[in-house]
Amino acid sequence: MIRSPHRPEDAPDASVLDTHRPLIRSLERRGLIRGGLSLGALVMLTGCDVKRPEAVEQALLAMSRFNDRVQALLFNPNQLAPTYPDSKILRPPKFNAYYDVTQVKPVDGNSWRLEVSGLVSNRRPWTLTDLQTLPQRSMVIKHICVEGWSYIGGWSGVPLKTFLEHVGADTRAKYVAFKTADNYPSSIDMATALHPQTLLALDYGGQTLADPFGFPLRLRMSTKLGYKNPKWVTAIEVTNTYPGGYWESRGFSWFAGI
């Protein structure tokens, strides 16, 4: 048996690694650090005193965001993700959220408004009818959740690009950020926002979105993992300040796409 050179009482407190496990995993998955990171390597990587978990967290987050920015720059805005025939659409779709489907609080489509803020020339809130009168587009694409499942779904709605044009968004801004009725903030880079397969979806499989799937409005993109697609959207902001997101602030990749 190979014995550790350290007696247990000499070993640095491994719980430091545990504290940062989600971020470390995310960096590992993205090939930024190798699996089986040791405490020594963590100190080297972050240059931090590991007794200050906030400092380590900050350094790891900085690494993660730097890589997100690089990935966003490499994103090809003209490349389309694969699409599928209508016959492949799963009905009903698979549900996921950070809580159980029985906990979903339906949104009232009549009183619902879509707030618009930030670097736009028109901040007028939008009603559901307003959105329905804009040009629509449909796509049948694969939804992939990091939990390890996927399905083919068919969404229609207003291309986010069309919407951004209508509100006079400054498309030189870096980010488009979303708020939702269930407090699940999310954000994407502008290139992804302008991608032709990025929709403000109103329908699934030719019918109005059902409550569990984001009625009246959810973001649906072909180029991002499931968690980047907020349901029950209530507000859109165009901004240059990094907005983060629900899972992103818990160590998951912000770019999370192709």
Ligand X SMILES: Nc1nc2c(c(=O)[nH]1)N[C@H]1C(S)=C(S)[C@@H](COP(=O)(O)O)O[C@H]1N2
Residues binding ligand X (CB under 6 A): 93-98, 143, 145, 180, 182, 184, 213, 226-227, 229-232
Which partner, Mo ion, ligand X, none, binds residue 166 by CB below 5 to 8 Å per kind? none
Q: For the CB of residue 146, give the shortest distance to Mo ion in the complex, in Å.
A: 5
Three-state SS letters, the chain: CCCCCCCHHHCCCCHHHHHCHHHHHHHHHCCCCCCCCCHHHHHHHHCCCCCCHHHHHHHHHHHHHHHHHHHHHHCCCCCCCCCCCHHHCCCCCCCCCCCCHHHCCCCCCCCCCEEEEECECCCCCECHHHHHCCCCEEEEEEEEECCCEEEEEEEEEEEHHHHHHHCCECCCCCEEEEEECCCCCEEEEHHHHCCCCEEEEEEECCEECCHHHCCCCEEEECCECHHHCCCCEEEEEEECCCCCCCCHHHCCCCCCEC
- 147-206 binders of Mo ion (CB under 5 A): none
User: Residue 126 or 227: which CB sits closer to Mo ion?
Assistant: 227
User: Residue 205 or 226: which CB sits closer to Mo ion?
Assistant: 226
Q: Which one of the spans 41-49, 50-58, 106-114, 137-145 is the region binding Mo ion (CB under 5 A)?
A: 137-145
User: Residue 30 or 170: which CB sits closer to ligand X?
Assistant: 30
Per-position x/- string for 210-229, each x denoting binding to Mo ion as judged by CB under 5 A, each - no binding: ----------------xx--
Q: For the CB of residue 151, give the shortest distance to ligand X in the complex, in Å.
A: 7
Per-position x/- string for 97-136, each x denoting binding to Mo ion as judged by CB under 5 A, each - no binding: ----------------------------------------
Q: Of all residues in this chain, which one has the CB nearest to ligand X in the complex?
A: 226
Q: For the CB of residue 87, give the shortest distance to ligand X in the complex, in Å.
A: 19
Residues that bind Mo ion (CB under 5 A): 96, 145, 226-227
